[in-house]
Structure 1
């Protein structure tokens, strides 16, 4: 498995914590984390395998730092790269916009000639709508630390095991 870049936007530290959990499960020698507040397009381009992670704020808003980072994604050459997504949200308080931030990143990757990997089942979640749901699946790993934190460890472990098979 080639080196992996994990790029996250975090306001409260929760998304950073999950990014570090993912890094630990992939192996610190295989994965490097980047706070998107300090990352540039060139940082993304150094990796063949990329993970983007964000939280969703309010009624579907992308985390502030990641919103600014979308320009860097737009400017990056992602041809032939594999990209996975993870998102944090609250499926009960914001059931009409659960992990919409992850969906916005997914949309930003359209026409970037990269291969999206790491989709997950909607089973076990209760929400009404999400920009991150496409064709009955979630475009990445969705986590609800507010209501289902007891499932975070298992979901991260299962997802990372799948990514190890999908990444080069």
Structure 2
């Protein structure tokens, strides 16, 4: 069992390695000393309870489905006590191939974590994306409930989005001053 060492726990699930690569980029951007990386296929999800600051990464599969590693631990996730924990999410999706389901899993994960008492942060503007529908949007549709990445169609934008989002999240966590 892995122990908690950094202030932030980053938990992700990844089948094609794109979410894993995004998780590693986020860890590098924030600083490795700040972030413990946990693949939910291997790590015990209850470790999330040991962190005050959490990042979760999830890809949307096919027609708005959960990635298999997240699906396998969904019931355990629902049982977590994340009361008052600051949580920011990032998701991967394909806005052109699956425009009716873009970032749906991000929305499912957000709802699940809020139900566990988490305090969500890290919302991301929905402009500059081209999709039809998403369960990953705030009720007014102006923001995603986390950073939305599309490595299929907009990989050239990912690096800048990750850097901007990481700075935003660290400010919202109260771990870095306003720039």
TM-score by length of 2: 0.90
Q: Does 1:37 align with 2:41?
A: yes
Contact 2:90 2:146 in 1 (8 A): yes
Find the aligned partners of 2:45 and 2:16 in 1 and give their Cα distance: 24
Unaligned runs of 5+ in 1: none
Q: 1:68 aligns with which of 60, 65, 72?
A: 72
Corresponding residue number in structure 1 for 2:130: 126
Range with bigger deviation, 54-63 or 102-111: 102-111
Deviation at 1:78, TM superposition (A): 0.3
- Cα distance in 2 between the residues matched to 1:60 and 1:152: 21
The residue that corresponds to 2:50 in the other structure is 46
Q: Does 1:23 align with 2:35?
A: no
In the other structure, the counterpart of 1:93 is 97
TM-superposed deviation, 1:68: 1.7
What is aligned with 1:113? Answer: 117
Contact 2:79 2:116 in 1 (8 A): no
1:70/1:105 contact within 8 Å kept: no
Report how many residues are paired. 167
CA contact (8 A) 1:60 1:99 kept: yes
Counterpart position of 1:166: 172
Name which of 137, 147, 150 aligns with 2:153: 147
Mapped partners of 1:29, 1:7: distance in 2? 16
* Residue of structure 2 in register with 1:55 after alignment: 59
- C-alpha offsets along residues 41-91 of structure 1, whole Å, 9 cap, x if unaligned? 431011101011111111111100011222222121101100111000000
Gaps of 5+ in 2: 1-5, 175-179
Displacement of 1:123: 1.0
